[in-house]
């Protein structure tokens, strides 16, 4: 396949109107199973490799499919929030059916083009679909041409691989790949990580056999509710494996005592400026006043050099551009301070951590604010908007939570109750059942 130049992409997202609801309705039964250009080399260590800890997978190249094997295509890309769930689903499918043949489709020169092969799966690319904001703009006049171009490439790939099902987990590649699958009459399932869907998944839901959701309230946002299954977000395998608090802390603070309290600050994969600046202005005073407090601070790759030049060395502080051992970081922490990406929210629930979320105002249609609001409802998570954020509000919120053991215990208990740690296994079983039921009818 010819090399295709990378373009700066924007997420295809739009929030369809749906009733706001904080109540948790039960998952519906399945009524029908019928038919900005950046370097990602550091980012691609995003612990996707960690998801293969249980069963080592050797990287493969796309090859001619075997007629009798189950064949699955996963379309995912753009961010770790789309890629991590896709890899988790693929891992579960492979555990359930070792002979399964899996092909990932993404965009060239992207995060997925490096991280998917490193996770051990065949990968191929299609031309990206560019969507500029605002939606009504001259640049979007060529959108139909780019979309058709991508659909044609996807169609050719699907015809050659001949999958039984195509799974879309979002990103720039999911929409054209699923439309190509529709044209070939191949079964489509999608997974929505956020509390409110974007326009791509909303449109695709009309044609999907199953729509996997992370939250009960999201059902109200989709037109075909009987096809919706609430499974939660598939989290990386390493986070579902027990790591003791004591062992995890030895990795970061070997001299910390049993009474130590650890704050894990996730400044985003590439960097969250507002969080970094707020913490920069308060960390020194906090560590001075609380000798048994410790901070693990992920600054983000693009912010690390600046933060490193401004932050003084301290025995109670670990400063990193990116954390590769996220399982140990979560296990060591008493409190998480983070953005409110869908996957981060799911990981906080799965690990049962108290948290302060600072949703990014730059994410399309306020997805992160809605995720954070849902986390506040189900787990008592504290939410600070970026307009409210400064060193005082952040420092006060941290002290209120770390000084109250009962509050942290309650937040942890609520988070674990709301978690869905077996999400990837549920999704894999639904997909296998869907394919099996349709195969039997043939």
Question: Is pLDDT at 25 greater than 80 in this prediction?
Answer: no
Which 3 state secondary structure label does DSSP give 73?
strand
Report pTM: 0.78
Whole-Å CA distances, 406 to 29, 393, 410: 37, 21, 6
Higher pLDDT, 225 or 23: 225
Lowest-confidence pick of 20-29, 65-74, 220-229, 368-377: 20-29
The pLDDT value recorded for residue 63 is 58
Report whether 280 contacts 307 (CB < 8 A): yes
Report whether 114 contacts 123 (CB < 8 A): no
The pLDDT value recorded for residue 329 is 96
The pLDDT value recorded for residue 132 is 67
The pLDDT value recorded for residue 133 is 66
Closest CA to 48 of 258, 324, 281: 324
Both tokens assigned to 171: 């990103």
**Average confidence score pLDDT of the chain:** 84
Beta bridge partners of 383: 357
Non-local (6+) Cβ contacts of 396 within 8 A are none
Higher pLDDT, 302 or 1: 302
Two domains, one topology: 43-55+68-234+422-436 and 239-418:
yes
Non-local (6+) Cβ contacts of 43 within 8 A are 80, 111, 115, 269, 270, 301, 322
Domain layout of the chain by residue ranges: 43-55+68-234+422-436, 239-418
Look at domain 43-55+68-234+422-436 and name its CATH class.
Answer: alpha beta
Lowest-confidence pick of 58-62, 91-95, 284-288, 370-374: 58-62
CATH number of 239-418: 3.40.50.2000
The pLDDT value recorded for residue 305 is 93
Task: Please write the tens of the pLDDT for every residue from 73-92.
Answer: 999 988 888 999 999 999 99
Question: Is pLDDT at 31 greater than 50 in this prediction?
Answer: no
């Amino acid at each position: 396949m010819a090399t295709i130049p990378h373009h700066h992409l924007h997420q295809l997202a739009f929030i369809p109107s749906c009733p706001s609801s904080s109540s948790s309705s039960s998952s519906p039964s399945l009524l029908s199973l019928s038919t900005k250009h950046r370097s990602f080399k550091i980012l691609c260590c995003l612990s996707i490799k960690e998801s293969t800890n249980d069963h080592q997978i050797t990287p493969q190249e796309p090859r001619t499919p075997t007629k009798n094997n189950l064949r699955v295509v996963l379309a995912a890309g753009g961010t770790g929030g789309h890629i991590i769930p896709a890899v988790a689903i693929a891992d579960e499918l492979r555990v359930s059916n070792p002979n399964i043949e899996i092909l990932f489709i993404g965009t060239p020169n992207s995060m997925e083009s490096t991280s998917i092969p490193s996770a051990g799966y065949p990968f191929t690319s299609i031309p990206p679909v560019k969507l500029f904001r605002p939606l009504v703009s001259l640049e979007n006049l060529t959108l139909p041409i780019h979309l058709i171009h991508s659909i044609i490439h996807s169609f050719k790939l699907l015809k050659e691989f001949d999958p039984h099902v195509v799974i879309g987990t979002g990103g720039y590649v999911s929409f054209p790949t699923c439309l190509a699958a529709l044209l070939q009459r191949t079964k489509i399932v999608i997974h929505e990580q956020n509390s409110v869907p974007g326009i791509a998944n909303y449109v695709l839901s009309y044609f999907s056999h199953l729509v996997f959701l992370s939250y009960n309230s999201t059902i109200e946002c989709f037109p075909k509710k009987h096809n919706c299954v609430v499974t939660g977000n598939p989290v990386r395998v390493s986070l579902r494996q027990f790591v003791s608090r004591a062992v995890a802390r030895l990795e970061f603070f070997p001299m910390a005592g049993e009474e130590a309290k650890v704050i894990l600050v996730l400044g985003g994969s590439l960097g969250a400026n507002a969080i970094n600046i707020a913490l920069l202005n308060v960390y020194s005073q906090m560590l001075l006043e609380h000798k048994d407090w410790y901070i693990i601070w992920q600054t983000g790759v693009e912010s690390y050099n600046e933060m490193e030049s401004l932050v003084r060395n301290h025995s109670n502080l670990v400063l990193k551009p990116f954390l590769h051992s996220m399982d140990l970081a979560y296990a060591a922490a008493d409190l998480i301070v983070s953005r409110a990406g869908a996957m981060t929210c799911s990981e906080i629930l799965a690990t049962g951590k108290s948290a302060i979320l600072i949703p990014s105002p730059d994410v399309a249609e306020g997805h992160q604010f809605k995720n954070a609001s849902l986390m506040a409802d189900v787990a008592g998570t504290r939410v600070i908007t970026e307009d409210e954020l400064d060193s005082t509000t952040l420092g006060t919120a941290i002290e209120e939570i770390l000084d109250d053991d009962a509050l942290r215990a309650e937040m942890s208990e609520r988070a674990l109750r709301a978690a869905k740690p077996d999400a990837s296994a549920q999704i894999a079983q639904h997909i296998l059942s869907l394919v099996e039921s349709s195969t039997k009818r043939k």
